Amino acid sequence: MKLLGAATALLSGLAACHIPEANVYNLREVRDPDGSARRIGAPMTRLEYFSRNVVLASMSSDGKMAEKEAEETDDPDAVALENLIQLADCDGEDPWIRGLQVEMMSWLAVDDDYKLARERAVIELGRLAQSLGVKAPEQLVKDAVPAGPDDIVGPLGDLVHGVRAFVEHGDAPGEDFQGACRRLSELVFDRDGARRVAAATNALLARSGHDEPAMAELLALHEQAARRAVALALGEALVDPDPLVRAAAVEASLRASGDQLFNLRLQALGDRSEIVVGAVLRGVAERGLRPPERLTPAEAEELRRAFIERCVLLARDLRSPVSAAACAALNKTAGSGFSTYRWEEWNRWWDAESAREAPAPSAGAGR
């Protein structure tokens, strides 16, 4: 029994090394490519995944794992959400793991049918955006013609040949490899195309080594595609039909930009949902206002006053959560010298401020 317990403990510890792959496998088992729930599949626990893929595979004659028989999944949405959370908890400093996170989050943040799964994926996109240096969400230009599969397959094939020759024979990447990196880097990708290129290059880098100097061009291509996938996923999430997802997208975009997207914040304050408006106001109450660095002091002050005026209007909102959140934002940013959650006090203060800032009448106006 002690031996069995020790073996189980060992497997549990070793399984931690394979958590990201287990999460990706499970997500694909409970989600169809379009993001809808797949009710027949074979999701596994971390320990079971490790046992089948490592222990049993090493014991089999052909090195293949013992496949698990598919069966009905009681709650595929819950399985998807749990695995998104677990994948997000994995070490994003590891470039391979970060690549898996980009692949899954940029897919399910937009395509998942379950709003809580989309929300969770969007939240993680904000962290990935910071890691990759994505400063703003993107949306595909209206007249843009994104690359299709035929544009991608050929260059990816050249990359596969180049990596295989490097790994198996130590051959330095040749002109075909370099040309494929260059052609792919020049293409216009939609979210799906960028995600697929990021995933393919991540898999190739896992074979050659992400920090291998000979693969520097491939790594640059991978990071470019990953940034594009994350930025486009955030851009699509900003117009999600569900306010929970839109609120998460606004907050993720603001955090990624260092709160520099002032216009996005003002635009979000006009959202039809109090969930989005409240989230924006709470973010300001927590972190304050940070006008874009490129503005002059006068321009920054003008933006700040425009935001404060909007908050004073929202403080009058009959929806009490919005009013309270607006007052909290004013307490943080108005510089009034007092703190209150009474909208009428903010109204009187703003009237006085506006009167004080109004230009004095000209001498001829009295006559």
User: Tens of pLDDT along 174-233?
Assistant: 899 999 999 999 999 999 999 999 999 999 999 999 999 999 999 999 999 999 999 999
- Residue 352: Cβ-neighbour burial (10 angstroms; 0-12, 13-18, 19+): exposed
Q: Is the pLDDT of residue 116 over 70?
A: yes
- How confident is the model at residue 18, as a pLDDT? 52
How many whole angstroms separate alpha carbon 17 and alpha carbon 255? 30
DSSP string, 319-353: SHHHHHHHHHHHHHHS--S-----HHHHHHHHHHH
Identify the DSSP state of 288. Answer: -
Mean pLDDT for 299-326 is: 90
Distant-in-sequence contacts of 65-70, Cβ < 8 A, 24+ apart = 67/42, 68/42, 68/44, 69/42, 70/40, 70/41, 70/42
Selected residue with higher pLDDT from 323 and 320: 323
Report DSSP letters for 37-101, one per residue.
B--EE----HHHHHIIIIIIHHHSSSSPPPPPPPEE-S-HHHHHHHHHHHHHHS-TTSHHHHHHH
Q: β-strands 40-41, 71-72: how paired?
A: antiparallel
pLDDT score at 320:
79
pLDDT at position 363 is 53
pLDDT in tens, 37-60: 999 988 777 778 777 766 554 555
Vertex 355, ends 350 and 361: CA angle to 5°?
165
Sign, CA dihedral 250-253-256-261, equals negative
The pair of structure tokens assigned to 187 is 């293409």
pTM of the model: 0.87
> What average pLDDT does the structure give for the chain?
88
d(CA 44, CA 48): 6
Q: Is the dihedral of CA 21, 23, 29, 31 positive or negative?
A: negative
CA distances 89 to 255, 271, 335, Å, are 19, 31, 39
